[in-house]
Structure formats: C-alpha cells, structure tokens
Amino acid sequence: MEMGAMHKTIAVSCLVVLLLWWAWRVLNWAWFKPKKLEKRLRQQGFKGNSYRFLVGDVKDSAAMLHDAMHKPITFCNDIVPRIMPHIHHTIKSYAMIRCNINALQDGISQCTMLPAFAICYDQLLSKWEKAASTEGAYEVDVFPTFDTLTSDVISRVAFGSNYVEGGKIFFLLKELIELTVQETTGILLTWTMVLLSKHPQWQERAREEVFQTFGRNNLDFERLNHLKVVTMILYEVLRLYPPVSDLTKIVHKETKLGEFSIPPGVQIMLPTVVLHRDNKIWGNDAMEFNPMRFSEGVANATKNNVSYFPFSWGPRVCIGQNFALLQAKLGLAMILQRFTFELSPSYAHAPMTILTLQPQHGAHVIYRKV
C-alpha cells in the first residue's frame, strides 16, 4: 500500500510539474515576453498602444477600415487614410521615429519573352479596336481584364501555351506566381490607365515618345529600353500605387538599426504607401503625379535613401519585378500606339487592399482609336 501511494504521489507530482511548466510557457508567450519586448522598445523612445492580449489593435483597426471602406473618396493620391486608416491614425497620434537606412525568370531571356507578350496584347487590343470601330468608343473595366491578360502571358511564356491550355499547370503554380507577377503587372497597368486618364498631358507625352521610337511598327526589345518617359511614368505609378501597400518583417536575431537595437521577436511594418508620400523624401509635391522626379533615375529621386521599394528589397525582393516592368512597358506602349483613353463617368476612386492595392469598384476606362 505504501509503495502504491508513493508511486501515486510521484505521478501526481510529475503531472503538476508538467502542468506548471506548460502554464509558464503559455503565460510567457502570451504576456511576459510581449511585455518585455514592449519595455525594451519604449526604453529606446518608441511610442504606441500598450500590448493587449490576443486582440491587440485588430478590433480598432477593423472598425476603422470598415468605416473607411464605406464610401469612395474624391480623386486624389492621398489614399493612406482610406486603405490604412489605423496606420494613418497611429502616425498622427505618435511622433515618427526616423532614421536613414542605406545599406521564374532566370531561365527565360527577355528577348524570348517579348514575342509572347506582344501576341497576348495584340489579341486583346484587336478586340478593343473592333469594338471601338463599331461604336466609336469602347468602355472596359481594365482591372479584371489585365488580370486575365497577365495570366495568359505567364502561361504562354512559361508553358508555351495559352491561358486555357496551360490552365491546369498554371493552377498548380498559381500561389507562387500570382502575387509576384500576375497581380503585380495587372495592377500596375490598371493604375497606370487611371493616372494617365487623369493626366492627359502625360498620356500625350508618352504617346509621342512611342511614335517617335516605333511609329506604328511592331515594338522590339532593344528600342523598348529607350522609352524614357514611359519608364518614368511607370516608376511614378509604382510610387503612388505600389502593388503591396505595406511590408512586414519579423526580427529573428538582435538587429542594430541606426541608433536602435531591435530584439528578436519584434514585428516591423514598413508602410510603403506612407514612405512613398513623405514630403521629407519626395518634396512638397509628394502627393502629386509627377513622373519628372524620376528623370535622372530612382537613386537621384530618393536622394540615395532606401525609400522606394514597390517590389520590396533585399533577399526577399519580388522575383517578378523585371518581368512585370517589361510586360507593363510593352503593354502601355502598344495601347498608346492604338488608343487614347479617359476614365468613365462611372469610375469611383476607391483604392482598397486585399493582399494587393486594387480598385474596389473596378476601373472603367473608355478607349478611342488613334
């Protein structure tokens, strides 16, 4: 009896110790570790809301986003209060701590890709031309149109097939490719149509450059790189409407960031759309569409600061950025050769973020043959 009681006591003791150990781990994960990180950051001057178990700022953020999404905004490039209302509120409430931080396609040549791009765009634009010839003008929601088009381009380049024939293969790689190339290019072209519709003088400058370079002939890769105005326009569109509105990084080891020491476990958010509109970096016209700021390249436009990253940067930079820019440059040039365009009266300016920055109610554009 005594041995049995002793074994029972030992078993109960082990169980209690195990439960206490798990309770400590959970408590440390849920409370002590976050509060320790918060204390270290506050000691270095960082401000913000206090840590709240599980929910954090999610409830407040969701409520602000719901209110912001309730209605469109007047057309302007100050879109941060709409797409990131909680971040906008946080920046206004707490002083920003700033420091300067200076610091798929590999096997496919660009010359090989270009003909595939051209075939896909030509098929789409021929349909538009036919419709515009009949009706005088053709209205289309370019957001889903360009999304499907870029899927077709990727399928044709990667698999030597059209979107339908390569559908099964494309579906298997969709999660890998979609955000890096497909949505990136489709969204870039969509916002380019919107901004050039609102700024017809830049649309005309780009068209003149395309005609001076190619006339009405087919585009070729070598001269495509000579389109300086078109490139400046695409860079400016990416500044104001980057495919991804913010980047999140998790610190895995103690990291020195300027004068600050960031402990492991801290999650850092880089609000791209906010930094791309910072007057201290871009000047007093940061909210304006001004492609001339890129006339001498990205480095000069940013004063050599790492403050322009529409495709992220470093080891995690978007693998499809060159693919996306080349495709967008070709697509825009081909559109400018054949059409003038303007926003439909039905267009409502309502940028929103669902992984990528996209128009909530689509982007209806009216095309007329040149």
Bind-site residues for heme: 318
Q: How far apart are CA 265 and CA 263, in angstroms?
A: 6
Q: How many CB atoms lie within 10 A of CB 190?
A: 26
Residues pairing with 139 in the sheet: 366
Which segments are annotated as binding site? 318
Which residues are CB-contacts of 216 (< 8 A; sequence separation ≥ 6)? 337
| 3-class SS string, the chain | CHHHHHHHHHHHHHHHHHHHHHHHHHHHHHHHHHHHHHHHHHHCCCCCCCCCCCCCCHHHHHHHHHHHCCCCCCCCCCCHHHHCHHHHHHHHHCCCCCCCCCCCCCCCCHHHHHHHHHHHHHHHHHHHHHHHHHHCCEEEEHHHHHHHHHHHHHHHHHHCCCCCCCHHHHHHHHHHHHHHHHHHHHHHHHHHHHHHHHCHHHHHHHHHHHHHHHCCCCCCHHHHCCCHHHHHHHHHHHHHCCCCCCEEEECCCCEEECCEEECCCCEEEECHHHHCCCHHHHCCCCCCCCHHHHCCCHHHHCCCCCCCCECECHHHCCCCHHHHHHHHHHHHHHHHHHEEEEECCCCCCCEEEECEEEECCCCEEEEEEC
